[in-house]
Amino acid sequence: MQTTPRQKVIFDHDGGVDDLLSLMLLLSMDHVDLLGVTITPADCYLPDATESTLKLLRLFGREEVPVALGNLHGINAFPAEWRAQPKICNAFPMMLNTPVSDAQLDCRHAPQFIADTLIASDSHVTVLMTGPCTNLVAALKGNAAAQAKVKELVWMGGAVDVAGNVSTHNHNTSAEWNAFWDPIATQDLFALGIEIRLIALDATNELPVNKAFLQDLAKQADYPMSQLAGQFWATTVNSIPAYEFTYYMWDVLATSYLALGHTSFTFERAELAVSVKEPNAGQTYRSPGSDQWVMVATWADRDQVLDYVLKQFAR
């Protein structure tokens, strides 16, 4: 009997609590062949995100998956309080009790690792990205051979027909943070012409982290991954009020797309452009004639996604 080949995936994340939960969800997917994990030092501090990533891989028995680190920084740094928030994840007993080995670290810079891994792959690769696109753009820009191997990019980023979540001086709140961190890279990304599925705030707004969901997760806390995920999410309920009150399942929603596909999402093919200037740097707006076509998620089925997440963490 012929078995369907597993879906090859490269995962680039930026170490937020949501990114770590996404890694856990991705590692729970049997149909995914994870070729490597790369880190963008954006909504995290790189050593924390590296430690969390290595430990989660180890907890899932995936010490063979290479991890490569990025050292490129965007123009608009994340607030320090947000970058420090995921430190707590490394302080939970299950994480403290997990040994970490640098042997799993690939010595190549993340963009080089991404480009090499794409080119070395004998079939097309899905790129899942839950932080800014700086690593990926550095990997793909001017590298047609690597671009040709990208089946599809699933990116948590952007805000198209809804308000953004950047609230800083010199910004009018029209941009989403991942797009804002490095607006020039975001613009370059759209100009590449690769297949992009944008899991924008338009869709992630359907999924605030709420107590009812945490309660359902707590009911299955006998499963170690539910226990750990519940602890991770608990660190987000006091989202820094100075910027925003709610923590959403931004990256987790993008990750769930890899398993749920079209059944749980509505997409619209749209021509977008990116602002690189104040007061709306990083805004991803409709621009008919830009010829930068992007598949924008306009809606996600909250109940289906939450059911799926609960199911995957109960294994």
Interface with Ca ion by CB under 5 A: which residues?
14, 16, 19, 130-131, 251
Residue 237 to residue 248: CA distance in whole angstroms: 10
* Dist CA 184 CA 181 (whole Å): 9
The footprint of ligand AGV (CB under 6 A) covers 16, 18-19, 43, 82, 130-131, 156, 165, 176-178, 239, 243-244, 247, 250-251
- The CB-of-37 to ligand AGV minimum distance in angstroms stands at 15
Give the nearer residue to ligand AGV in terms of CB position, either 60 or 243: 243
Residue nearest to ligand AGV (CB): 16
We find the least distance from the C-beta atom of residue 165 to ligand AGV, in angstroms, to be: 5
Say if CB 155 and CB 254 are below 8 A apart.
yes
Nearer to ligand AGV, 146 or 176 (CB): 176
Name which of Ca ion, ligand AGV, none residue 292 binds, using a CB cut-off of 5 to 8 Å depending on partner kind: none
Give the integer Cα–Cα distance in Å for 80 and 78: 6
Give the closest residue to 114 by CA, choosing from 79, 78, 150, 139. Answer: 139
| Least spacing, CB of residue 82 vs Ca ion, in Å | 10
Q: How far is the CB of 244 from ligand AGV (least distance, A)?
A: 5
Tracing tokens 């609230």 back to the chain, one arrives at 167
Cis peptide before 183 (omega within 30 of 0): no
Distance from C-alpha of 295 to C-alpha of 199, rounded to nearest angstrom: 9
- Distance (Å, rounded) from C-alpha 211 to C-alpha 218? 10
DSSP letters along 85-119, please? GGGGGGGSHHHHTS---GGGB-SS-HHHHHHHHHH
Query: From Ca ion, ligand AGV, none, which one binds at residue 299 (CB under 5 to 8 Å depending on kind)?
Result: none
Nearer to ligand AGV, 149 or 230 (CB): 230
Per the CB < 8 A criterion, the answer to whether 22 and 52 are in contact is no
Which residue, 176 or 202, is less far from ligand AGV as judged by CB?
Answer: 176
> Smallest distance, Å, CB 36 to ligand AGV?
19
- Cα distance between residue 34 and residue 164, in whole Å: 31
Least distance between Ca ion and beta carbon 43 (Å): 5
| Partner residues linked to 273 by β-bridges | 285
> What are residue 153's phi and psi, to 5 degrees?
-105, 125
- What is the bridge-based pairing of β-strands 284-286 and 150-156? unpaired
C-beta closer to ligand AGV: residue 15 or 146: 15
| Complex with ligand AGV: residue 149 or 283, whichever CB lies closer | 283
Which one, of 271, 125, 115, lies nearest residue 191 by Cα? 271
233 binds, among ligand AGV, Ca ion, none (CB under 5 to 8 A by kind): none
Select 16 or 230, whichever has its Cβ closest to Ca ion: 16
Minimum distance, C-beta of residue 85 to ligand AGV, in the bound complex (Å): 6
